[in-house]
Structure 1
Amino acid sequence: MSDPHQTRAQQLIGDFAPKLVDLTDNVLFGDIWERTELSPRDRSLVTVASLVTSSSTDQLRGHLIRARANGVTETELKEAIIHLAFYAGWPKAMTAITVAKELFAV
């Protein structure tokens, strides 16, 4: 069972790739996500869009949850995915909307 005090990166790969955990926790989430030039809500929308366009479904799951916590509505997230179908490709959007449906059904 994982330690609830560990970050998600520590839980997933801490013993295998500690440097990547350090970069994830301290640079990405400790610095980049905390910059004030974009709101957390805007960062979430940009991140979700990037993950949809790259078919990064494992990371998409966590960032859809983060986006909701950052004030992006379920309707807005679905609309972003629908919009991206025309720019990123239909299969990527269909995969992303399936992930969103699974998460939002909970």
Structure 2
Amino acid sequence: MVENAPIDRHSQGMKTRRSVLGESYVDAAVARTTAFDAPFQNLITEAAWGHVWSRDTWSKRERSIVTIALLAGLGHFEEMAMHVRATARTGATMDDIQEALLHVAIYAGVPAANHAMKVAKQAFAEIEGETGK
């Protein structure tokens, strides 16, 4: 029986985090890290990015769609906006997000989806402004 080498979840998480959120976003987050929030930053890098987002069962596009729907349904709109902006790197399209937010309206409530639509529109406008598309 061959044992698999242990995975360095922090390194894998940082690689995945950078591929989804972008170098400049992650560099800024790292620069803002203090002794107080360093354990939290390590936790999300290892758990969210190193374990969940690094799995190969779903594509980054699929994870992006699900993440945006969950954040919208839970009312975490600032985080949702960050993930909408990340769709430029994950491959999730505006149509994908539109469909996800229609699901949010039915399963999590119209007020949550209504605000999520507003947030998504603003985030897509930011992407368009950055890319000139």
1:27-76 per-residue CA deviation (whole Å, 9 max, x = no partner) reads 21123211111111111111111101100011101111223421111122
- Could you tell me how far apart the structure 1 residues matched to 2:109 and 2:31 are? 33
- Could you tell me how far apart the structure 1 residues matched to 2:66 and 2:99 are? 13
Aligned to 2:77: 57
The percent identity for this pair of structures is: 31
Q: Which amino acid aligns with 2:103?
A: H
**Closer, same or farther in 2 for the Cα pair 1:98/1:41, shift >3 Å?**
same
- Could you tell me how far apart the structure 1 residues matched to 2:120 and 2:109 are? 17
Q: Structure 1: which 5+ residue stretches go unaligned?
A: none
Q: Which structure exhibits the higher relative contact order, with contacts defined as CA atoms closer than 8 Å and separated by 6 or more residues?
A: 2
Shift of 1:83: 2.6
Name the SS of the counterpart of 1:34 in structure 2: coil
- Number of residue pairs matched? 101
Report the TM-score, using the length of structure 2 for normalisation: 0.68
Q: Structure 2: which 5+ residue stretches go unaligned?
A: 1-23, 127-133
Name the SS of the counterpart of 2:50 in structure 1: coil
Shift of 1:101: 0.8
Q: Which amino acid aligns with 1:41?
A: R
Q: Which amino acid aligns with 1:77?
A: I
Name the SS of the counterpart of 1:31 in structure 2: helix
Name the SS of the counterpart of 1:6 in structure 2: helix
Paired residue for 1:17, among 37, 60, 65?
Answer: 37
- Could you tell me how far apart the structure 1 residues matched to 2:122 and 2:109 are? 20
Report which of the two structures shows the higher radius of gyration computed on alpha carbons.
Answer: 2
- Could you tell me how far apart the structure 2 residues matched to 1:25 and 1:37 are? 19
**Closer, same or farther in 2 for the Cα pair 1:62/1:89, shift >3 Å?**
same
- RMSD of the TM alignment (CA)? 1.8
